[in-house]
Structure 1
């Protein structure tokens, strides 16, 4: 029997070695031969760690191709700074899509994680734990709601809010069975679940995944007149209006002043739940705890995520008052990991850091500084930069495609990467800039100088390398509405 086990271990090692030929060495430990294990460890220690090129190649070969990342590998990070395996340093201007508002590796949050991990990580909601109630009380008190429902990811938070809205619509508003309608905005992004993409105007997100979830209506973001008309025509069946206070994935699109107040009035008039997706905009990103706070608007339901876990763990939550929240009863919705003690401890620390370090104020001040400097670059290069826009530290630079030639915003981001700044394009010609809220003035100056240098020094080479490339094509017309691009209409407030 022992010899058979040894033979199987030998075959397994050889098979794995063959599959991973050319990749970083892997240690295969054998309990039957401790001497062999020690030799393997010794051999690995004499090898260099895998390089950036090795790791990107490994990921490309063994992982699904559902992302098109900028070619840099994160090996270590602290605050706003990131290092790759070779020790090159960068400034992170994406913050994992605003999940790292408190900065990479915030010591208080890491300490909370480590301490809790040694005590208790998971109870499931089949039992109580000693951390979740504290997070629940802290969240509801901090944001001014009576109850919360914990989940893990932002997409799960959206799904929770949609289910809650439908349940409320049937039980409280009296919508006929299976006729509840949710209104969402053109250009929205609420995740990648079936419900979320059923609302999407992005053909890449929707094609090949049909049929879409029924009960959806669309309206242009920022157009209160269109929303009013839709509610007049369908109000009896509408359970909720779901929106982002600032559309992040659409390119940091801000609504007209007064839009959120008017939405609040319309939702109240038609007895419709106003649901704010603050997954990316919430928890100090825009210079307020919630982006809705800029207009002193209180939605009926708020969805939080990303920065609630501070880039340490996925943590999300849905906030609402009890008359809405208690429409969901035991057994009707849940999550094994939602409200787990480890995530709760991290969430508590993440919120404490936002308050103690006054990250709302920092986001507002540093964001104004960033936009002022980027607008100076725009003034010097009006044929390359169409617009600089944003609020707090959620900002975007909109580029003129004609000025780029065959080059793209992605090429500009490669140029920025080579100068130590990490950003990512969205919607073709838009570069989103959203660094951790802990960023300092000198780091903002470094980033805006790099942006200027890319446009003035690197762009000719970027254009040259793109000459043989097929020119960027106009995106296909939206499958839903037939328009070729999202344009926010004029509106009377």
Structure 2
């Protein structure tokens, strides 16, 4: 064994990036997910209960409790099995000798029958093939249209077996046998099923549901199933692929429940962790002889593989592996239950048989940590826990597929109590992190210095008010930058910005839209609306880069998923905040049947212009003699600002990235039509703002663009619309002569304590885009508002609604119909060729193909 391991020097590095190559050529979706979770490890060596991988130029040893999903019952490279395999190779035993009498298969089949009874054995290459063979034989023996399976079961992913696999059948449903799923916990369901037993070809069951969360099936259900099948002549197919070979403390798990299978499926450990082999056994009295001709396989029944299986049976008996599994499993569960007693809010259950244990984490939906709570709600907590155990404690474990809060623990039968105790200590470390709500420690894998940060007593960062009104709306938002993540989850504050950025880069495609706040907002007219805020786990910079590289398809899918969730929750309108509206083409790329959509741009423009006009008057700036700079003028919002304010000012300069940009030229032409007497020039740099008394900035850049050097000596009023801000913090610190206002901010009439977590606004205030969404709910609208280009009519409608419901410009008195109408009348003082307002319904929109 040492010679085998020394074949690769510990300092050897792979010639290529194996994870990258595996992702590119084999499993792109899987590797992306593993990489996001920190589980994209390439293992180079294996022995016993250990695996090794390269880390920092050296081999890192990991205690492997995944165990090949139950395959390595004998450990990795058991010496006796390695020696047996070498003997087969040295003796040149035939591998491919189809259409002959194969002695290895005969010997292994006889050995299985000696311990299990009189069966006819069909050898296959994997567990799922054993299930497929069982389905085929059952159809020959008892041709009926229905197969019984059990909820929570897993029987493989080939087209027939996946029909029986409760959590994986999905889009493949109906492409194989018609399956009736039995509820093992509902006797009423059993009786309902009994009435149709005459139509059943076979019943397939796992005694312990492995992928279903390591759940032993109720004994009463198993007795009922066995009795019903026997009385009706239905073959009982017991899937022991994961539980057989002594894993659960007896050679078959079904022995402990007194079951006598008609068909038996074996696999995984049958090959001793060395060979790929499965077996389907049928009791001789039920066997259809034609099956031995109708079913065949190129690779099954080869002598070397079968003789490895024979050696595995010999070692199993010699070393009493079932007894070892029973003793070690009892020790492990006893120790884990002691941890559970100390951490009842982190561990929900410890269960299993033999060395097949399920450790179920408790859902952390009330955690003060937003990351931990979101991971729990989205089925990712078990994977984050697995990554933490791997990188912090060098322990390898994985969640089960259909119960992702359950970590499945399946070491070899030779595992020592010391190694089991080490695993228990790692689990306790994970529990400490979850109890402390320290997401920083969970995701940085213990690299950051300092003690655990206990945030368990901190208040929940978001409010969740149950809806008290049928008027419901939703609003979509995202992170401004990587440091914003630390605002959402303060336990991440100690992590360097580079590490936060790397974390978001990995995980952004993984996160589904997350429910943040759920709040009520009241109208001055007496109505109320319930708001749900959905957050996307990505930054403005990430969205911007995705748009530049034409890789925004996955973001649009997440936005549509958020809209679907909102509609399912009864929301009538959905608002797109920040860069979500930009990437969605002002909502035109979103399919949204059942929901009215808005970018909120109409109210943003109207409130921003009103705020700018009021602040100019307060600063003593004569609007009609002023020069106005508009940054980001090629964009929808900024160009609309320019068109609407142009008739009121002396001169306007439009700032964009490229003076020859078609969008900037179109904005220039629109301003010329709107205000032919107002001078309008183009610029590519913010230095053109140096003689502007008023500045409006609404660019689509994730970083600041306006700095002190760009602004004249005051008074100057800057209306910053962008999120993230276009205006550098240096302007606020260094230029007291410059008044910077958040143009897209609205004060609510009756909710002075209103606040949305992660949005830095004074209490009682809302972003204008969010406020427009609220107004749509209060108005009870059935059609979209600000979809596509902003129009003056759209601005008038939004401002009039704001006046009706008492919404105000930030830091001013209530907006009334008079002030709104007077302001908008001024904007129409000169004839302007504005585009007509169109009725936009998200339900009719289609999204172009990604890229």
**Could you say if the C-alpha distance between residues 66 and 120 of structure 1 is closer, same or farther in structure 2, counting changes exceeding 3 Å?**
farther
Displacement after TM superposition at 1:350 (Å): 1.3
Counterpart in the other structure of 2:335 = 373
**C-alpha separation between the residues in 1 aligned to 2:80 and 2:358?**
30
Q: 2:34 matched to 1:50?
A: no
Q: Alpha carbons of 1:412 and 1:337: their partners in 2 closer, same or farther (altered >3 Å)?
A: same
Residue in 2 that maps onto 1:361: 323
Partners in 1 of 2:276 and 2:111 — Cα distance?
18
String of CA shifts for 1:383-417, please: whole Å, max 9, x gaps: 11111111111111111222542341111111110
Query: Which of the two has greater strand per residue?
Result: 2
Q: Deviations over 1:329-354 (max 9, x none)?
A: 44311112211101111110111111
State the shift of 1:472 in Å.
8.4
Deviation, 1:450, is 1.1
Q: 1:206-245, aligned counterparts within 5 Å?
A: 206-209=169-172, 211-231=174-194, 233-245=195-207
User: Are positions 1:135 and 2:98 aligned together?
Assistant: no
CA distance in 2, matches of 1:330, 1:289: 26
Larger CA deviation: 68-77 vs 463-472: 463-472
Structure 2: distance between partners of 1:362 and 1:379:
26
1:265–1:190 Cα change, 3 Å = same
Change (3 A) 1:374 1:330: closer
- In the alignment, structure 1 residue 394 sits paired with structure 2 residue 356: yes
Residues in 2 aligned to 1:352 and 1:147: alpha-carbon distance in whole angstroms: 21
Alignment TM-score, normalising by the size of structure 2 = 0.47
**What is the match of residue 149 of structure 1?**
122
Q: Mean alpha-carbon deviation: is it higher for 457-466 or for 158-167?
A: 457-466
**1:452 corresponding residue in structure 2:** 428
CA distance in 2, matches of 1:361, 1:260: 24
Alignment of 1:13-52 (within 5 A): 48-50=12-14
Q: What's the CA shift for 1:66?
A: 5.5
Structure 1: tracts of 5 or more residues without a match: 1-44, 171-178, 477-493
User: In the aligned structure 2, how far is the partner of 1:147 from the partner of 1:293?
Assistant: 19
Segments of 5+ residues of structure 2 without an aligned counterpart are 1-8, 376-380, 445-484, 490-503, 516-560, 562-851
Within the candidate set 90, 97, 121, 2:69 is matched to 97
Aligned partner of 2:409 in structure 1 is 433
**Is the 1:89–1:420 contact (alpha carbons within 8 Å) kept by the matching residues of 2?**
yes
Contact 1:169 1:180 in 2 (8 A): no
Alignment counterpart, residue 44 of structure 2, candidates 75, 81, 84: 75
**2:28 partner SS:** coil
Give the whole-Å Cα distance in 2 for the aligned partners of 1:134 and 1:241.
29
- Indicate conservation of the 8 Å contact 1:396/1:433, yes or no: yes
Q: How far 1:322 moved relative to its partner?
A: 1.4
Once the 2 structures are TM-superposed, how far is the Cα of residue 79 of structure 1 from its aligned partner?
1.1
Over the aligned positions, Cα root-mean-square deviation in angstroms equals 2.5
| 1:154 CA displacement | 0.5
Structure with higher RCO (Cα < 8 A, 6+ apart) = 1
2:459 aligned residue: none
Contact 1:93 1:423 in 2 (8 A): yes
Give the equivalent residue in structure 2 for 1:21.
none
Among 63, 84, 89, the residue aligned to 2:53? 84
Q: Report whether the alignment pairs 1:186 with 2:151.
A: yes
Partners in 2 of 1:259 and 1:48 — Cα distance? 54
C-alpha separation in 2, matches of 1:76 and 1:143: 35
Instruction: Measure the CA separation in 2 of the matches of 1:392 and 1:438.
Output: 13
Post-superposition CA distance 1:60-83 (Å, at most 9, x none): 222123535433222111111111
Contact 2:200 2:234 (8 Å CA) reproduced: yes
| Local SS of the residue matching 1:183 | strand
Q: How many residues align?
A: 419
TM superposition shift of 1:211: 4.4
Q: 1:92 to 1:57 in 2, by over 3 A?
A: same
* Aligned equivalents of 1:271, 1:222: Cα separation in 2: 24
TM-score, length basis structure 1: 0.79
